[in-house]
A and B are shown apart, each in its own frame.
Chain A
Amino acid sequence: MKQFARTLALTSLALAVSAAFAGPRQTDRTESETGRFSPSELRASVSSTKSLHVAGDRVKVTVEFSNSSLAPAHVPVWLLDSSDPDRSFLRVTRDGEELAYMGALVKRKAAHLQETAEIQPGQSISVTYDIDRAYDLSEGGSYQINFVGSDKHVIDGHSFDSQPAGLAVEADPARAIMIEQSEFQHKLGTSSYAASCTTSQRSAIDTALSSAAAYASNAVNYLAQTPSSARTRYVTWFGTVTTSRWNTVASNFANIKNTFDTQNMSFDCGCTEAGTFAYVYPTQPYKVYLCGAFWSAANTGTDSRAGTLVHETSHFNVVAGTNDYAYGQTAAKKLATTNPKRAIQNADSHEYFAENTPFQN
């Protein structure tokens, strides 16, 4: 297991964290028989201090993190700091429907580069988070909240989810206004997930989306250059260069990039067909259904997850309205030679151009 250079003492978090020390503090470093530290076993449990929240009440939940293993566990400092606006680790549902996350999106360094706090074996720490600035609870009713941990939240152990806790909220339209006025509010450029997407799938989608956005950026930059028949990457996937077709592809990628950067995309992971990567309804932006072949694909490269997201996004009528005229690299290359007009409307041609594997100039 890794050693952490910057482990912060818990006492410095005293203001942000109400720490409840349950059980004896074990001071000896535990090593397993193999001589390495055993992975920590963190658990989270969510509870609500109030069962009914009337109009005007702030809605908060308390998450208790407890380390039931024999080794110290490390979590990023920000997770235990309730003044950090990130609430993406809390999932809220109402009547089984997941609410869109409207809170802050915080881009962070890789978990192992972050400042961490140590939770000792047998120790538990409770943190109270407000959730009414990250989720729109104005409709009222009964909500279920659970903690969804990923490798962003636990450094040296396994990711962990909690059981949901229920709470009731009185309908109050003012809550929606509070969200709109929140400094951390965002409506754009985030993702929501159907309940069918597991925690690890959500994190894989996030990774693929970042790579897809990078693909789109790269394509936009490439296409901002002067059209030239010497550009083999373009010619391979879109055929003979004309200024008009080059500009169409440039505009398609500008829209694709804009979608990744600013739109709220939603994902469904309920499709398990092994021979299918993904599908969308072009009339229903920006929902993408991910299937079996998506999960067995690599994050980047030919027919990758990131490339598939470029492909699917290009299908939406409001984005580029592409079609599937040819499947696979061989057919897409043929399409470029025989019918460039079609190639610039073909989803796979956009995907392979974006993936640019193997690299072409």
Chain B
Amino acid sequence: MQASASFAMSASATPRLLNALRCELVLQRNGAPGAMALQLQNTGSEAITLLRRNTPLEPMRANFLRVSRNKHRLQYVGPVVKRAAPTLEEYVVIAPGSSMLHEFDASQGYDFSKPGRYQVSWNGELLDAALGSAAPNPLDPNAARILCAPITFER
């Protein structure tokens, strides 16, 4: 399959970087203590299909954020879930030139109840991602990574 060929894993230590995807965490000012949003913009010329699993695009079921309060890293207090191979419904397609904003609640995994200066970053890891229009193959995932700007705020 053409799309995944461009993602073939080399023997390098980290999965391929998806440069076309611009990523940003956005604070939801009037929300709950952990209310934020993930903004993704496809700046490339091909569609990007990515698996939502273990990313901010689904309810928190893995430790994928790095949260610190006053520069001390907070431990992840949410669940970690063993699931069967994903179905196609777990993927999202971002068309070239388009963007999406997805709200999520980081307090499902980290304790934002104490006042202080918080920094939240997402490791940008995607368990499976593909370029182009071909359907993904959940049984042969191609991990990828995007760079995502962190946010800092005072509570």
Residues of A within 8 A of B (CB): 275-283, 289, 293, 303, 308, 311-312, 315, 317, 323-328, 330-331, 334-335, 337-339, 341, 347-348
Cα distance A328–B140 in the bound complex, in angstroms:
9
Q: Are the C-beta atoms of A326 and B13 separated by less than 8 Å?
A: no
Cα distance A323–B85 in the bound complex, in angstroms:
17
Residues on B with beta carbons closer than 8 Å to the beta carbon of A315: 80
Residues on A with beta carbons closer than 8 Å to the beta carbon of B9: 334, 337-338
Of B27-35, B39-47, B70-78, B112-120, the one contacting chain A is B70-78
Residues on A with beta carbons closer than 8 Å to the beta carbon of B97: none
What are 30 residue pairs bridging A and B, where the CB atoms are less than 8 Å apart in the complex?
Answer: A276-B83, A276-B84, A277-B82, A279-B61, A280-B79, A281-B77, A281-B79, A282-B80, A283-B75, A283-B76, A283-B77, A289-B79, A303-B84, A308-B82, A311-B82, A312-B82, A324-B54, A324-B80, A326-B143, A327-B53, A327-B83, A327-B85, A327-B127, A328-B85, A330-B139, A334-B9, A338-B15, A339-B13, A339-B14, A347-B80
Cα distance A142–B79 in the bound complex, in angstroms:
34
The residue on B at minimum CB distance from A284 is B77
CB distance from A105 to the nearest CB of B (A): 27
CB distance from A87 to the nearest CB of B (A): 33
Residues on B with beta carbons closer than 8 Å to the beta carbon of A303: 84
CB distance from A237 to the nearest CB of B (A): 16
Cα distance A226–B33 in the bound complex, in angstroms:
51
Q: Are the C-beta atoms of B62 and A347 separated by less than 8 Å?
A: no
Which of A280, A339, A347 has most B Cβ within 10 Å? Answer: A339
Which residue of A280, A326, A328 contacts B80 across the interface (Cβ within 8 Å)? A280
Cα distance A129–B123 in the bound complex, in angstroms:
57
Cα distance A126–B8 in the bound complex, in angstroms:
69
Residues on B with beta carbons closer than 8 Å to the beta carbon of A317: 75
The residue on A at minimum CB distance from B54 is A324
Residues on A with beta carbons closer than 8 Å to the beta carbon of B79: 279-281, 289
Number of CB contacts from chain A to chain B under 8 A: 83
Mark out the residues of chain B between 1 and 41 whose CB falls within 8 Å of any chain A CB in the assembled complex. Answer: 9-15
In the assembled complex, B63 has its CB within 8 A of some CB on chain A? yes
Residues on A with beta carbons closer than 8 Å to the beta carbon of B61: 279
Q: Are the C-beta atoms of B143 and A279 separated by less than 8 Å?
A: no
Cα distance A325–B143 in the bound complex, in angstroms:
10
Given A326-B127, A334-B143, 15 more contacts at CB 8 Å?
A: A279-B81, A280-B79, A283-B75, A293-B84, A308-B82, A315-B80, A323-B80, A324-B54, A326-B141, A326-B143, A327-B86, A328-B85, A328-B139, A338-B9, A347-B80
Residues on B with beta carbons closer than 8 Å to the beta carbon of A282: 63, 76, 80
Which of A283, A293, A338 has most B Cβ within 10 Å? Answer: A338
Q: Are the C-beta atoms of B80 and A275 separated by less than 8 Å?
A: no
In the assembled complex, B98 has its CB within 8 A of some CB on chain A? no
Cα distance A315–B79 in the bound complex, in angstroms:
10
Cα distance A276–B58 in the bound complex, in angstroms:
15
The 6 A-B residue pairs with the shortest CB-CB distance in the complex, in nearest-first order: A279-B81, A277-B82, A279-B79, A275-B84, A331-B141, A276-B83
Cα distance A193–B139 in the bound complex, in angstroms:
34
Cα distance A277–B82 in the bound complex, in angstroms:
5
Residues on B with beta carbons closer than 8 Å to the beta carbon of A331: 127, 141, 143
Q: Are the C-beta atoms of B12 and A338 separated by less than 8 Å?
A: yes
Residues on B with beta carbons closer than 8 Å to the beta carbon of A326: 127, 141, 143
Residues on B with beta carbons closer than 8 Å to the beta carbon of A324: 54, 62, 80-82
Mark out the residues of chain B between 84 and 99 whose CB falls within 8 Å of any chain A CB in the assembled complex. Answer: 84-87
Cα distance A324–B81 in the bound complex, in angstroms:
8
Cα distance A269–B11 in the bound complex, in angstroms:
41
Which residue of A277, A281, A325 contacts B78 across the interface (Cβ within 8 Å)? A281
The residue on B at minimum CB distance from A323 is B63
Cα distance A335–B14 in the bound complex, in angstroms:
9
The residue on B at minimum CB distance from A296 is B84
Q: Are the C-beta atoms of B140 and A330 separated by less than 8 Å?
A: yes
Residues on A with beta carbons closer than 8 Å to the beta carbon of B75: 283, 317
Residues on A with beta carbons closer than 8 Å to the beta carbon of B139: 328, 330
Q: Are the C-beta atoms of A275 and B83 separated by less than 8 Å?
A: yes
Residues on A with beta carbons closer than 8 Å to the beta carbon of B78: 281
Mask: chain B, 99-121; 1 = CB below 8 Å from A; 0 = not: 00000000000000000000000
Cα distance A312–B81 in the bound complex, in angstroms:
8
The residue on B at minimum CB distance from A278 is B82
CB distance from B88 to the nearest CB of A (A): 12
Cα distance A96–B143 in the bound complex, in angstroms:
45
Which residue of B11, B80, B83, B84 contacts A338 across the interface (Cβ within 8 Å)? B11
